[in-house]
Chain A
Amino acid sequence: MQPSGLHPHPAQSSSSTPADVLVSIAERAGQVDRAVAQAADELLFPTVPDGLALVAVGGYGRRQLFPFSDVDLLILCQNDALPRRHRPEISALLQKLWDSGLRVSQSVRTPEECLAVHEQNAELNISLLDQRFLAGDRPLFAALSKQFPRFVQSNRDALMRNLVRLTRERHTKYAGTFYHLEPNVKETPGGLRDFQFIRWMEQLRDADANRVTAPDAPAELRQAFRFLAGLRYALHQQAGRDQNQLTFDAQDALADNGAGKEVDHWMREYYRQARTVYRAAQRSLEQWDAQSSALFAQFVGWRSRLSNSEFSVHRERLHFRAPQQLESDPGLVLRLFEFVGRHGIALSHEAVNQLEARLARLREYFDEPRNLWPPLNQIFSQPQAPLAVRAMHETGVLFALFPGLEQIECLVVRDFYHRYTVDEHTLVAIQNAWAAPEKYGELLRELPQKGVLLFALLFHDSGKHASGAAAGYAGHVEASLDAAGDAMRRIRMPPPERDSVLFLIRYHMELSVAMRSRDLADPKVTHHLAEIAGTEERLKALTLVTYADISAVNPSVMTPWRSSQLWRLYLAVYRELTRELSEERIADASAGPGAELLEGLPVRYLRTHSKDEIAEHVALAAKSDARGVALDLRSLETAWQLTAIAADRPGLFACLAGTLAGFGMNILRAEAFSNRRGQILDTFVFADPTRTLELNPSEVDRLRATAERVVLGKLDVRELLKNRPKPKPLSRKGRVPASIAFDDEASATATLVEIVAEDRPGLLYDLASAISSSGGNIEVVLIDTQANRAIDVFYVTVHGRKLAGKEQSAMGEELRKACTPE
């Protein structure tokens, strides 16, 4: 049964790519032409003289037959009855071709069927773009090919729409990226199918009533096509079948053939070529979007209004107004990406080319250490930051900025689960963090430093190239830390942010290891992780990094099961952190000079404050000893901070919160601790919405003096609040329902009261007063605000013990009233 020589025999032929693959695939089409004609002469045409023609379509039609591709054969019949009548002859022909080793993919159609739009079978319409007469009734074929251009012209939109739909579906199937570790050279984005797509779109666009032709592709694309075609040819030879996936094994074999090149380098060449094709395909898709929908055009028109003096938005693409400005002002490039991140508008192809032409200049500019963190932080904190970073990657600007990242460009790390190259994995992880669903999305919204999170994700695997067998996992993390450290020094990132980035990179595997191999119910495990995280803020960021990193391994790895495992771990560590806060106190600080202040403060205090801050607090405490109170009021970069140390008395925290509210200040964060000597250390970070303090230096002194008098009991805070204007109620949409929960288990010594409520000026004062007035003593306070949602946690005792049930319900009632004042 084996073939009459039509099949190239894998064992005989060399597995290397022929000198000119295009000649080889055309030759093969020629061979098949002859075989088809011969078989038809023998079996078909003696009995079917007229009304039937054999037509080559698809890849066969354009004379591109790879060793084991399907042979697309159209059996064109004058009418429906003909194929029925001659069924035995047609079957005999197909059987003969099959027996000779050809995989014939035939369709039997009338000319009318060839000239109708097939919504369900768009492939048929498309395959006819490459029609070529083989044998039989020539006038029948001539009539079809005469009518075909007019058909294309009048159905252009439907045909293009179907083609675009098929292409988008295919891209989605491959997660819209060409950076696959084991790509399919035909189907993966940037593969041969995309090359044809570009060509077909041009054919459809340019068709007139008389002919359908395809213009020549640009040299760059032709070269990419030749490269991919060579690969497909070699894959077929190697496998002895229609095998188009560039598996790890195939990569090894082919790279070895290519003069002993390293397989990694060899694959980088693949990605370079696939990128050329993918970009062109994207351009073609965008062109279609731009012309296809009136609604889209309106939207695009609206977006044009976003244009400013440096950039213009035209047809939903971003352009430089004066690209030559990049020469004198390379910082323009960062503002460009900020624009992308803010508005989610992609770069125009012109802008991409203009950037690429100036990469050397940009590299030179970024090579000097500069204060680049503020503009980068701006880009990284935008709602569409992942898009901006992807654009930076695509244009090469990312590598100009951070040459250290070049090590992971198109880097293949082989393992069973990973689907993408390391750089693509990194970009996908960033996307995942920004698009995290539900509870994880909440974590992102609560993070004050999104730029730090993004920076850490960008570098988390930057040392992956160093993870040889010897270095292993630790080696990769160390190398990533080095790369991030260098980059952060060059852009002059401030030390606290640097610490956060290094923390996230160092421990980016910690939670996933714990999820897999630790007993989450074991207090030792959660205690260890709480110690590593140190604060809720870091725990949140680390949880998000873990979520984003795991889900960027491949699209199906973050199962609901894993997601809930990770969340369970997060909750356990979060609870451990809050438990520690109230229970674990600094027992013995005899070594230091500040022992009197420190003893009895939560252990966490030491972790969340720098040495300098602690020294300042110790100095402040000394002042307080003399006067009963000491205050420090200072301006931070974007907010103000009030630190107070005083002898504790009931309602003190409420008084301070009330004083700030009385001055019209908006409290963003607060913490309150007390030590063994009955001293309180309260810190408030607050916004000054009307810039009173900034514009009137005398107000700073007045606020400090007033707070002091309130603390010492010389002034009633209620007097201050009497004259404040009542806040306007928010619209119904922005309403946050108040929730108040008591938790007796979180701490051994106090009852934890968690309050989530709509934020408003004076809320904290009202809540703290409600607790004090119902007899509660506030031991520890943590206050946070997200948009208009206040999240307040109080550790409360009554006479030094937890609250009884009755006390809880009474206090709950008071708190509820405080949340919804009338």
Chain B
Amino acid sequence: MKKIEAIIQPFKLDEVKEALQAIGIEGMTITEVRGHGRQKGHKEVYRGQEYTVDLLPKVKIEVVAADNRVDDVTRAIIDSARTGKIGDGKIFVMDVIEAIRIRNEDRGESVL
């Protein structure tokens, strides 16, 4: 099992969700986050005052999938979240050692 963690532009959330659902991924966790990668913050002037906007609003999507689905999932996210501009976000994939359904203590991929 792998966990796929994608940081995307907020306005792409609906599209990404739909794309994941279209390939049969139902379970996901979504968090509103702030941060920056190479798209550093910038300064904005409003009414004669300067604001530093260094942490930009993003959305984090977390999906856990069976190993053989990882490529599908990342492909779906990339295709739906890409605008081609700086700030589109990143995807991280990591190993998951175990998954347990709390209700009945089922374990393994059947839980996903």
Contact = CB atoms under 8 A, between A and B. Distances in A.
- Binding between chains A and B: yes
Contacts of A571: 44, 46
Given A562-B32, A571-B44, A756 B14 contact: no
A568 B48 contact: no
B94 to A, nearest CB: 24
A561 B47 contact: no
Contact of A517 (B11, B48, B85): B11
Nearest to B34: A561
B83 interface: yes
Interface in B85-107: 85, 87
Interface string B1-27: 000000001110110000000000000
Contacts of A564: 34, 57
A743 interface: yes
B10 A739 contact: no
Given A516-B11, A565-B10, A741 B32 contact: no
B21 to A, nearest CB: 17
B44 A741 contact: no
A520 interface: yes
A575 B32 CA distance: 26
A520 B11 contact: yes
Contacts of A559: 32
B44 A739 contact: no
B57 A516 contact: no
A574 interface: yes
B11 A754 contact: no
A740 interface: yes
Contacts of B50: 741
Given A521-B85, A561-B34, A741-B50, A516 B10 contact: yes
A310 interface: no
Contacts of A575: 44
Nearest to A746: B45
Nearest to B57: A565
A518 B9 CA distance: 10
Contacts of B57: 561, 564-565, 568
B49 interface: yes
A743 B46 CA distance: 10
A398 interface: no
Nearest to A525: B11
A394 interface: no
Contacts of A743: 45
A511 to B, nearest CB: 13
A575 B43 CA distance: 13
Contacts of A520: 11
B85 A739 contact: no
B87 A521 contact: yes
Nearest to A739: B48
A516 B10 CA distance: 7
Interface string A754-769: 1110000000000000
Interface residues of A, number: 25
A75 B44 CA distance: 68
Contacts of B14: 516-517
Contacts of B47: 754, 756, 791
A519 B85 CA distance: 11
Contacts of B44: 571, 575
Contacts of A519: 9, 11, 83
Contacts of B85: 521
A517 B18 CA distance: 13
Contacts of B34: 561, 564
Interface in B23-75: 32-34, 44-50, 53, 57
A568 B53 contact: yes
Interface in A504-563: 515-521, 559, 561-562
Nearest to A752: B45
A562 B57 CA distance: 8
A667 B66 CA distance: 69
Nearest to B39: A521
Interface in A242-260: none
Nearest to B59: A561
A516 B85 CA distance: 18
A746 B47 CA distance: 12
A755 B49 CA distance: 9
B48 A518 contact: no
Between B33, B49, B57, the greatest number of chain A beta carbons within 10 A of the residue's beta carbon is seen for B57
Nearest to B51: A571
Nearest to B85: A521
A739 B46 contact: no
B97 to A, nearest CB: 31
A791 B47 CA distance: 7
Nearest to A745: B45
Contacts of A561: 32-34, 57
Contacts of B33: 561
A571 to B, nearest CB: 6
Given A561-B34, A565-B10, A565-B57, A574 B48 contact: no
A564 B11 CA distance: 14
Interface in A553-593: 559, 561-562, 564-565, 568, 571, 574-575
Contact of B45 (A515, A521, A562, A741): A741
A225 to B, nearest CB: 39
Contacts of B9: 519
Nearest to A570: B46
B53 A740 contact: no
Contact of B46 (A516, A521, A574, A755): A574
B12 to A, nearest CB: 8
Given A519-B83, A565-B57, A755 B48 contact: yes
A414 B47 CA distance: 41
Contacts of A746: 45
B87 to A, nearest CB: 7
Interface of A: 515-521, 559, 561-562, 564-565, 568, 571, 574-575, 739-741, 743, 746, 754-756, 791
27 contacts: A515-B11, A516-B10, A516-B11, A516-B14, A517-B11, A517-B14, A518-B11, A519-B9, A519-B83, A520-B11, A521-B85, A521-B87, A559-B32, A561-B32, A561-B34, A561-B57, A564-B34, A564-B57, A739-B48, A741-B49, A754-B45, A754-B47, A754-B48, A756-B47, A756-B48, A791-B47, A791-B48
Interface of B: 9-11, 13-14, 32-34, 44-50, 53, 57, 83, 85, 87
User: Which 8 pairs across A and B sit closest by C-beta, in order of nearness?
Assistant: A754-B48, A561-B32, A741-B48, A739-B48, A756-B48, A743-B45, A565-B57, A517-B11
Given A518-B11, A564-B57, A574-B46, 9 more contacts: A515-B10, A516-B11, A519-B9, A561-B33, A562-B32, A739-B49, A741-B50, A754-B47, A756-B49
